[in-house]
Structure 1
Amino acid sequence: MNRRQFLQLALAAPAAAIIGTKVAAMARHYPLEQLVLTLKRLPANKLSSSGIWNVSEIFQHLAQSVRYSRLGYPLANSTLFQYTAGSLAFNAFAAAGTMQHPLDEAIPGAPALVNAVPADVALAELIHELELFISWQGDLTPHFAYGNLTKQQYYSAHYLHIQNHLEQISLS
């Protein structure tokens, strides 16, 4: 392999990896409606959290995230971040079918979570926000980290985000 071929390959390989990840991410289907049915069956007052946030705070955080996809996030990362690292992270999560992020990290600029809200009230709020999102026909707002997402991409983001947080919740 000569120098020119090596440079072409060195430039093409990352682009191919990025495109491949995006194609894989778009090919996956995330059944948000099925997740809503699962959430409706949870016995909210019999759940416990293994994390820093209690069950109610987790559900409040998830409801905020879903709500902000319709109404706008309070703060956002830079456009440069959203179109580079944020977009790459989203596509990697969606392609892998799993998300890993700090589970006690609040949404930038979001109101503080209230630990005294009963878990069943917070869960009802999350379910309501998901049902509003699923039936939403209007424009969606850019995600604070991932930037502009289609509704299908938001399905992925919400599904993976909720699943990641549910890893901390168990029957007590």
Structure 2
Amino acid sequence: MNRRKLLQYAIVAPVAALVGGKVVAMARHYPLDELLQRLKRFPPERLSSNGEWNVSMVLQHLAQSVRYSRLGYPQDRSALFQFTVGSVALNAFAATGSMHHALNEPIPEAPSLVSRVPNDVALAELVQELEIFIDWQGELAPHFAYGNLTKQQYYTAHYLHIQNHLTEISLS
């Protein structure tokens, strides 16, 4: 293969992979409303966490994330990060159907999570934030890592984020 063809493939292949990943990501459906109904059926007194955060802290973190999608995140990553790494990461998560991130990493500059909040209170907060978000008709705030998202992209991000954190929560 000559150098010109190799250079063309080196440029075209990553672009094709990114476009293909975005197409797959956009085609997948993430039923946030069904996840909300599942959360409503959780027995908060029987939930336990096998992660660094207790159940209440996980639920508070998830509620913060959903709330900030409407009201604005306390601190954003750079626009360059959002446009490159953040955008690619969200599309990869959406295309594969799962998110993987540090499950004990707080939202930058968010208020500290309170370990003493009862599980039922934290779960009620998350449920309320999801209901408000699902009904929300106003502008959405840019995500601190992913940048400007449509409501459907936020459905995806919230769904995958909640599912990722639920891997550390079980019934006892």
TM-score, L = length of structure 2: 0.99
Q: Distance in 2 between matches of 1:94 and 1:105?
A: 20
Equivalences for 1:98-113 in 2 at 5 Å? 98-113=98-113
**Identity over aligned pairs, percent:** 70
| Equivalent AA in structure 2 for residue 129 of structure 1 | E
Instruction: Flag structure 1 segments of 5+ consecutive residues without an equivalent.
Output: none
Per-residue CA distance 1:45-90 (angstroms, 9 max, x = gap): 1110000100000000000000000000000100000000010001
Q: 5 Å matches for 1:1-172?
A: 1-172=1-172
Matched length: 172
Deviation string for 1:129-172 (max 9, x for gaps)? 00000000011111000111110000000000000000000011
Instruction: Give me the whole-angstrom Cα distance separating, in 1, the residues matched to 2:21 and 2:166.
Output: 25
Q: Which amino acid aligns with 1:26?
A: M
- CA shift for structure 1 position 114: 0.5
- Measure how far apart 1:112 and its partner are: 0.2
Following TM superposition, the consecutive aligned residue runs of length 4 or more in structure 1 with deviations greater than 3 angstroms are none
Query: 1:4 Cα deviation (Å)?
Result: 1.2
Compute the TM-score of the two structures, normalised by the length of structure 1: 0.99
Distance 2:72 2:104 in 1: 21
Query: Is there any run of 5+ residues in structure 2 with no aligned partner, and where?
Result: none
